[in-house]
Amino acid sequence: MKIETITTVRNDIDNLIIRDVPVSSTIVELNDHSLAIIDTGSPDNPELLEELEQLGYTPEDFSVVINTHLHTDHIGGNRIFTNARVLISRQELEFETKFARILQESEDPIVTLRSMGRYVNEGSDKLVQDLVKLVEEYPVTAIVGDSKQIEFFEDEPVLPNSITLLKVPGHSIDSRAVLVQGKIRTAVAAGDAFYHRDLWREVPIIGIHYNDRLFRKNVEHIARFPDIIIPGHDRIFDNLTKQYLRDDYLLI
């Protein structure tokens, strides 16, 4: 079994929420030679196709897409994988759809975010405005995938062998980490439940977490994982040595 991680960056947009933010996607080449991809980066980003091509893949080669959560910068490439099952949380889809509608209808999104228990710094007006623009431009239902491809975690879809899901809510309402079990080593693709090797302790600038307390609980748990971690916005690393690894790694 082999995993390959790619990092894509959207730098041709003014929106500060996703501009110049590296996003990790994980390709899993399973023992039966089928392919899965975990998270697909920001929307309208040609780097995803370019990275896949460099690795010798086309989107049609993939049979499964798994989304750790449904924030725009992790589901933006879903629709190019036309032959894949798209595995997501129904609770996430319902929440993010409602959340976007509340933000768009709000006269004061900062007050609205705070009323929902979200931490928002003073002076975060531009970031909050960009958050509203983001959900307006990229509705989750429009980018997550064709309804015929979507399967929900709650319905217990068949997962590829050697892949299991862990519930790690906090960053989003139903964040999942994806555990990839090889014969020798195990990797966890954590999404934004653990977004960076060195920066995960930092307080977010705006109310990006659904629940800060739950996020702290689960990120501390992932931080003790005794093997390989793939953060949502950083490179793959060995959590025993704290060293970054090659982007292609054999778990065999």
Each residue's pLDDT tens digit, 224-238: 999 999 999 999 999
Is the model's pLDDT at 182 over the cut of 70? yes
**Tell me, what's the pLDDT at 121?**
82
Mean pLDDT calculated for residue range 63-81: 98
Is the model's pLDDT at 133 over the cut of 90? yes
Residue 26: which H helix or E strand, with range?
strand 23-29
**If you classify domain 2-89+143-202+214-250 with CATH, what class do you get?**
alpha beta
Is the model's pLDDT at 252 over the cut of 70? no
CB within 8 A of 214, min separation 6: which ones?
169, 170
CB within 8 A of 147, min separation 6: which ones?
none
120 or 223, greater pLDDT: 223
Provide the 10 A C-beta neighbour count for residue 218: 22
What's the whole-model pTM score?
0.96
**pLDDT, tens digit (0-9, with 9 covering 90-100), for 26-68:** 999 988 889 999 999 999 999 999 999 999 999 999 999 999 9
Is the model's pLDDT at 167 over the cut of 90? yes
Q: Where are the domains of the chain?
A: 2-89+143-202+214-250
The percentage of residues in the chain with a pLDDT greater than 90, rounded to a whole number, is 87
**Tell me, what's the pLDDT at 35?**
97
Residues in the chain: 252
Number of helices (H), then strands (E), in the chain: 7, 13
**pLDDT, tens digit (0-9, with 9 covering 90-100), for 139-154:** 999 999 999 999 999 9
**Tell me, what's the pLDDT at 158?**
95
Nearest alpha-carbon partner for 54 in 21, 8, 1: 8
Is the model's pLDDT at 208 over the cut of 90? no
